[in-house]
């Protein structure tokens, strides 16, 4: 899980709505979550920053069959796409998707039993503003559920390729990522490791019965890479490499680096190293030697409105 500033002329997060998103959750873990958080009580749900509705559809599998869904996103294209996909998934009659801002939700106070988001607070200049709105539109006793990552953690995961890199190269890459995350945040574009801070934010906003879980899904890569999620990951990596893209495009990455306190003179070398790493990974995949446990941290932070 990841993200970025919208490149010009492309809607927000366009780079990340690829096939990998269909494999983010283990269904048995979602069922466990439904039990832990008493989803049986949910008659209606709001998905804030719904994008193409991946989170709505994932949760629909474990919510009561009568649950009504509302999704909201600030991008027209995602709102239309979410509605189409919901229809294809058989949810058309009990879902609606509308355009709007997560920091000023166009809903009355106390409207929903479940107010949730997935990888959205990480994009807001101040996640607390979005959370406050989520709490406002939740019913009393209703559930607020924020699913947000600590993307710094994924950067510390070794693959068979990075395991062979010298310590200095590994450390420089980690430092590069941290500088980029801090730069993105300094530019008011959100914080890619916000998940670490969400429980404290909920507590400060008066949310009760706070619970913090983590997705139990790893995305292991090992030959022959023939599983659908493995193929989707390889497709993404090859697509990025072909476009000289790496998480973000070069110009965006450089703007984050400089805003994070990095020196312009260091940037080219770090960008090239990122490209070399991608190339080495692709070559190892093509040779059938690449492997990685591929862990990531995705928190599910929930609480109840008093």
Of 70, 95, 119, 215, the residue at the interface with ligand SAM (CB under 6 A) is 119
Does position 20 interact with ligand SAM (CB under 6 A)? The reply is: no
Q: Which is nearer to ligand SAM, 55 or 299 (CB)?
A: 55
Least Å distance, CB 53 to ligand SAM, is 7
Whether 46 and 15 have beta carbons less than 8 Å apart is answered as no
Binding marks (x or -) toward ligand SAM, 57..76, rule CB under 6 A?
----------------xxx-
Binding segment (CB under 6 A) for ligand SAM, from list 8-16, 107-115, 175-183, 256-264:
8-16
Least Å distance, CB 286 to ligand SAM, is 29
Size of the site for ligand SAM (CB under 6 A): 22
State the DSSP code for 160: T
Q: Which is nearer to ligand SAM, 59 or 292 (CB)?
A: 59
Q: Is 3 helix (H, G, I), strand (E, B) or coil?
A: coil
Q: Which is nearer to ligand SAM, 123 or 285 (CB)?
A: 123
**CA angle at residue 256 from 132 to 253, to 5 degrees?**
120
- Report d(CA 278, CA 269) in Å as an integer: 14
Q: Which is nearer to ligand SAM, 101 or 196 (CB)?
A: 101
Does position 5 interact with ligand SAM (CB under 6 A)? The reply is: no
Binding segment (CB under 6 A) for ligand SAM, from list 88-96, 115-123, 223-231, 284-292:
115-123
**CA angle at residue 77 from 71 to 83, to 5 degrees?**
45
Site for ligand SAM in 40-59 (CB under 6 A): 49-51, 54-55
Q: Where are the alpha helices (DSSP H) in the chain?
A: 27-36, 54-60, 76-88, 127-137, 151-155, 167-186, 198-204, 228-242, 250-259, 264-287
CA dihedral 96, 100, 101, 106 (to 10 degrees): -80
Neighbours of 46 (CB within 10 A): 24
Of 23, 29, 32, 101, the residue at the interface with ligand SAM (CB under 6 A) is 101
Whether 127 and 121 have beta carbons less than 8 Å apart is answered as yes
- The residues facing 73 across adjacent strands are 99
Strands 138-150 and 297-304: antiparallel
Of 16, 29, 225, 267, the residue at the interface with ligand SAM (CB under 6 A) is 16
Does position 13 interact with ligand SAM (CB under 6 A)? The reply is: yes
Report residue 301 as tokens: 């932070």
Q: Which is nearer to ligand SAM, 163 or 216 (CB)?
A: 216
Least Å distance, CB 179 to ligand SAM, is 21
Contacts to ligand SAM by CB under 6 A? 3, 12-13, 16, 21, 49-51, 54-55, 73-75, 78, 101-103, 118-120, 123-124
């Amino acid at each position: 899980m990841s993200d970025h500033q919208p490149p010009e002329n492309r809607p927000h997060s366009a780079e990340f709505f690829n096939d990998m998103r269909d494999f983010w959750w283990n269904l048995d873990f979602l069922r466990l979550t439904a039990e832990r958080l008493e989803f049986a009580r949910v008659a209606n749900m709001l998905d804030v920053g719904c994008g193409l509705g991946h989170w709505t559809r994932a949760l629909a599998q474990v919510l009561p069959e009568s649950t009504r869904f509302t999704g909201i996103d600030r991008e027209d294209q995602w709102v239309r796409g979410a509605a189409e996909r919901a229809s294809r998934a058989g949810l058309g009659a009990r879902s609606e998707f509308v355009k709007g801002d997560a920091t000023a939700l166009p809903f009355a106070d106390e409207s929903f039993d479940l107010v949730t988001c997935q990888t959205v607070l990480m994009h807001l200049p101040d996640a607390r503003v979005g959370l406050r709105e989520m709490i406002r539109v939740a019913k009393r006793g209703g559930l607020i559920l924020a699913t947000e990552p600590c993307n710094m953690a994924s950067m510390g995961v070794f693959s068979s390729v990075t395991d062979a890199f010298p310590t200095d190269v590994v450390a420089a890459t980690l430092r590069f990522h941290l500088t980029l995350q801090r730069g993105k945040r300094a530019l008011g574009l959100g914080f890619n490791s916000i998940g670490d801070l969400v429980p404290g934010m909920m507590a400060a906003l008066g949310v009760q019965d706070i619970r913090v879980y983590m997705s139990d899904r790893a995305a292991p890569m090992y030959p022959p890479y023939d599983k659908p999620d493995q193929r989707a990951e390889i497709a993404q990596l090859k697509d990025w490499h072909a476009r000289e893209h790496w998480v973000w495009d070069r110009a965006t990455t450089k703007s984050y680096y400089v805003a994070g306190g990095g020196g312009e003179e260091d940037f080219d070398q770090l960008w090239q190293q990122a490209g070399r790493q991608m190339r080495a990974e692709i070559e190892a995949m093509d040779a059938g030697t690449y492997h990685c446990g591929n862990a990531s941290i995705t928190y599910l932070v929930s609480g109840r409105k008093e």
